[in-house]
Structure 1
Amino acid sequence: MSSTAEIVPIAWKQVGPPAAGAAAVSARRITERAYPLRYLGLVVLCLILMKPILVDQDPSLAPLVKAATAVVFSGLVLAHLLRRPPLSPVFLLFVFYRLAFLPPTLYHGGDLLNWGYATVAQVSLFLLIELHADAGPDARRRLLRVIADLLLAYLVINYLMILTGTSRTFTMDGQFAQPSYLLGIRTRVTDCIFTAVLVSALYDSGSSRRIGWRTLLALAIGAVQIISLQVATAAVGAGIGVVFYCLARMQPDGGGRGLVSMRGITVMGLLVNVLVVGARIHVHFAALLGHLFGKSVTLTGRTDLWDAAFPILGESPLFGYGINYSFGAFIPGASGLAWQAHNQYLQLMYDGGVAAVCLFLLLLLTAGAHVDRTSLKPRARAVFIAVYAAMSIMMVTEIYTYNMALFYLIPFLGARAGRLTGSADHEGSRSR
């Protein structure tokens, strides 16, 4: 029989000496107790970088948030210099993409401060994701949880404001007055719904549950607001999302091949934009548009905006006009009225020309390639594909790259999807 002297060293080799074990338990307890503070601190950072539109409309809050964004950006840059985590190719592409807007903004005397602030906020959000993706599993889970909780809170508050009639009046140069809620005018709720579903589903994929309450709440509160606000674009997006989710779930790994992949959807989205905006293929479905959505072939006047935009874009196709250069005054007959093109790609061409559009597509293709190749759980990949397909088609009539960086969460999270969800975090883990 072995003596106690023989057993103790073996036990120490397996679990470590008593002092080390006590230290580990103590460190674990400190970490658990610090979780609420870390959670709240991360909430504050995300709230600053992803502020609701209502904050921009408040003359006292907007400057404070902009100053706070500069402080957060400085802190995140310092953290990256100290930790030196690897930066994803998508991050570098995003930086070049934002820089594409700078020369035309300077040349045409555009809104340089707006470009700088939006760039700093969006880059900061990406830096925050990159930092957490390179940290431990607890930090990654906490980031996904914070973003999911914050977006859900936005949706709930926005709906409560709608129910209680609490709103501000939004106008454009004194015209087109309409109520604006936490997330903006009624159609802007679309931006938040789909990304909230995506982030909640990614958070759920890190646990053993099939679907969590966050995902269910995002789906429920999103559906209620789409129906109550009668947002036709969001209804179309929801239908497309359901179709692509089902198609992805029919594949063994939840999609990632051919059309049912992030890269396939990027190409499909661009093709649909060309067919609708350029070729006007939707005129052949006039009866369907009128019956289901109450829309004419002008898509609530959007075709008039596109027709007005084409000659303006033709005057500076390569580099565009820069940020906030009168937005092109795309509304026919409304001289001097600043407005947007109501199409993602036309607006990007106006702001940064073909150069910005090409970098935008390269950014999406690179992020999509990572999602397609990395080993995600089938349900998580299917949700990625469904949400991205919905927003890619909705880009035909809406712009999603200027609102709270919500659309950018798709490529930002996609660039680190494997790491954030605890799956394989290297390119090529799935053969194609």
Structure 2
Amino acid sequence: MTEAAGPLMSNRRPARRGRRRTLSYSPDAIAAFVAVFGMAFIPLLGSKGALLFLMAGMALVAVRPGETLGALRREWMIALVALWCVMSFAWSDYASLTMRYGIQLCLTVLISVTIAYRLSPMIFVKIVFLTSGMTGLASVLIGRTRSDGMGYLGIYASKNALADASSVLIIVALAVLVDRRLSVRWRLPALAALLMGAMLLVMGQSSGALVSTLAVILVFGVIVLLQRMTAHLRLVTIALTVVLVAAIAVLLSSISDQLARIFLDLTGKDITLTGRTDLWAVAFGQIADQPFLGVGFQAFWVHGQPLAEQLWADFGISTRQGFNFHNTVISNAVEIGVPATLVQTLIFFGATGACLGWAIRTPSAASVFFALYMVRLCMLMWIEVVYFYQFSIGSGIIIAAICYGRRSKAEARAPATRAGIR
């Protein structure tokens, strides 16, 4: 993989002649840190955060544009999806909005791919750890709560956004904490960040984020167990696990009504999971009308769109924003059509599998973080919209996971290929 010149700031060995400590800086890592910082703080800084992301990211692109073009050629499927989103302005009822958001997504993809190819995975994860810790600390210091008292907000506009950010902080802190190759100056702050993230997650009162985070921690335990096994034993264990999970699923399906009632009582949601089934019925109607092209990238939840206005009114969304179909595949199929959504889904699941294999083969803070992050999104994508958004740190991490995961898979195949040639 392409390695950065060094971490954000690292200590060189002092010269023999004196005890003065000199510091070295990686311009690529600094620019990437500023870009990720800007994305992470968009909830607080607004357009200024987006501008910070664009300025630092485009500076990276401008320094070595040839490398960026080469990276985009290798990650052509991501670029193709972004270009399709822009092209959808041609059939969108809100062409100017679709074009603007599509261009923003293209810039997000461009900069995120550039960062992933300029930095090593470990340095990227260190940057995510630092920025996530800073947003968590800012949320603690600001102290905002919902007006009805039902959840903590911090720097975010909703409790779900806070819970999502807190979950990321927990995952990255856990990944850093268990990597014994990292020094104490990284692992001790990781322990503090883990505790802070857990506190914010509970304060956010988001049942979906809480359940998915607990499930990811269980997956982490499975990854650690598989790391200690031989390849053949891993295969047997995975096969037995699949059989066991299938058996449990069949057993639970027989008592699904009782389990659903218990879950709904604990979370305070209605039997349709806050009306998701009603939303999905409307979405399926839209997909049936325009299955191949969709209505246009982000061209459904628009002020003045008749169906969107009706749904906002039905669900009492007075702000007429921050609402979606609560399912990634369904939502994206509405906007960009079924074929493009299938491509997105293949890219996403391919990256998830690659990152899981990477974490099992060569465990590190980087591989474990990307594996757990992608697994968490796999759980949430059926009840939330998790990819791809413009100017979103979540999208940036997903794109980095796609790049690093694919390259780790290629590197794992390379020794076997060379051995076969011999």
Matched, 1:232 2:207: yes
Distance 1:238 1:180, change over 3 A: closer
The match for 1:52 is: 42
Report 1:77-116 matches (<5 A): 77-83=61-67, 87=71, 91-108=75-92, 109-110=94-95, 111=97, 112-116=99-103
Distance (Å, rounded) in 1 between the aligned partners of 2:237 and 2:282: 34
Which of residues 218, 228, 236 is equivalent to 1:243? 218
What is aligned with 1:324?
Answer: 298
Q: How many residues align?
A: 369
* Structure 2 residue 132 is the aligned partner of structure 1 residue 158: no
Q: TM-score, normalised by structure 2?
A: 0.71
CA-CA distance at 1:130 after TM superposition: 1.0
TM-score, L = length of structure 1: 0.70
Q: Secondary structure at the match of 1:334?
A: helix
Q: Is the 2:325–2:331 contact (alpha carbons within 8 Å) kept by the matching residues of 1?
A: yes
Question: Partners in 2 of 1:317 and 1:203 — Cα distance?
Answer: 43
Q: Deviations over 1:86-108 (max 9, x none)?
A: 52887322111212222323321
- Alignment equivalent of 1:307, drawn from 275, 281, 284: 281
CA distance in 2, matches of 1:255, 1:241: 23
Output one character per residue of 1:179-228: Cα deviation in whole Å (capped at 9) or x when no partner. Answer: 86423311112332333344445556372569823432343222212212
TM-aligned CA distance change 1:30 to 1:351, over 3 Å: farther
Which one of 331, 336, 358 corresponds to residue 352 of structure 1? 336
Go from structure 1 to structure 2 and tell me whether the alpha carbon gap of 1:115 and 1:31 turns closer, same or farther (over 3 Å shift): farther
Compared with structure 1, are the counterparts of its residues 188 and 242 closer, same or farther at alpha carbon in structure 2 (3 Å cutoff)? same
For residues 384-426 of structure 1, give each alpha carbon's deviation from its aligned partner in whole angstroms, at most 9, with x where no partner exists. Answer: 444332221122222222372315414513532698xxx9971
Q: Deviations over 1:85-141 (max 9, x none)?
A: 9528873221112122223233213411122123212421221121123xxxxxx65
Does the aligned pair in 1 maintain the 2:351–2:402 contact within 8 Å? yes
Task: Name the SS of the counterpart of 1:326 in structure 2.
Answer: coil
1:172-191 map, 5 Å: 181-191=154-164
What per-residue deviation string (whole Å, max 9, x for no partner) do you get for residues 137-195 of structure 1?
xxx65443222101111112123223xx378x9xxxxxxx9986423311112332333
Distance 1:141 1:30 in 2: 28
Match runs of 1:161-310 below 5 Å: 161-162=142-143, 165=144, 181-201=154-174, 203=176, 205=179, 207-208=181-182, 212-252=187-227, 285-310=259-284
Q: Percent identity?
A: 15
Match of 2:411, SS?
A: coil
- Asked if 1:127 is matched to 2:106, the reply is no
Higher deviation after alignment, 250-259 or 152-161: 250-259
2:384 matches 1:398 = yes
Q: How does 1:364-375 map to 2 (within 5 A)?
A: 364-374=348-358, 375=361
- State yes or no: 1:334 paired with 2:334: no
- The code of the aligned residue for 1:124 comes to I
Instruction: Summarize deviations over 1:48-75 as a string: whole Å, max 9, x none.
Output: 344432333xxxxx1x455554444443
CA shift digits 1:235-272 (9 cap, x unpaired): 111221122122222213589977999xx99xx9xxx9
Counterpart of 2:129 in structure 1 is 148
Give, in whole Å, the separation in 2 of the partners of 1:72 and 1:201. Answer: 28
Of structures 1 and 2, the one scoring higher in RCO (CA 8 A, sep 6+) is: 1
The one-letter code of the counterpart of 2:346 is L
Deviations 1:2-23 (A, max 9, x none): xxxxxxxxxxxxxxxxxxxxxx
State which drifts further: 183-192 or 322-331: 322-331
Q: Gaps spanning 5+ residues in structure 2: where?
A: 1-13, 302-306, 417-422
Q: Structure 1 pair 235/331, CA: closer, same or farther in 2 (3 Å)? A: farther
Is the 1:317–1:353 Cα contact (8 Å) retained in structure 2? Answer: yes
Please give the alpha-carbon distance, in whole angstroms, between the structure 2 residues aligned to 1:158 and 1:378.
28
Contact 1:183 1:189 in 2 (8 A): yes
Note the C-alpha offset of 1:361: 1.7
Greater Rg by CA: 1
Cα separation, 2, equivalents of 1:122 and 1:184: 24
Quote the Cα distance in structure 2 between the aligned partners of 1:293 and 1:254.
Answer: 38
* Map 1:71-82 → 2, pairs under 5 A: 71-82=55-66
2:105 paired residue among 111, 118, 129: 118
Quick check: 1:52–1:183 contact (8 Å CA) kept in 2? no
Are 2:139 and 2:155, in contact at CA under 8 Å, matched by a contact in 1?
A: yes
Aligned residues of 1:244 and 1:385 also touching (Cα < 8 A): no
The letter of the residue matching 1:152 is G
Kindly indicate whether the alpha-carbon contact (under 8 Å) linking 1:305 and 1:341 is maintained by their aligned counterparts in 2. Answer: yes
Match of 1:16 in 2: none
Shift of 1:359: 1.7
Q: Answer whether contact 2:109 2:399 (CA < 8 A) is retained.
A: no
SS in structure 1 of the partner of residue 413 of structure 2: coil
Kindly indicate whether the alpha-carbon contact (under 8 Å) linking 1:53 and 1:404 is maintained by their aligned counterparts in 2.
Answer: no
Question: Does the CA-based 8 Å contact 2:34-2:52 persist in structure 1?
Answer: no
User: What secondary structure sits across from 2:294 in the alignment?
Assistant: coil
**1:12 alignment partner in structure 2:** none
Indicate the residue corresponding to 2:419 in structure 1: none
* TM-fit CA distance, 1:296: 2.6
Match of 2:420 in 1: none
1:389 aligns with 2:375: yes
CA 1:84–1:191: 2 relative to 1, 3 Å: same
RMSD value, Cα: 4.4
Name the SS for the 1:396 alignment partner: coil
Distance 1:157 1:230 in 2: 18
Q: 1:415 to 1:122 in 2, by over 3 A?
A: closer
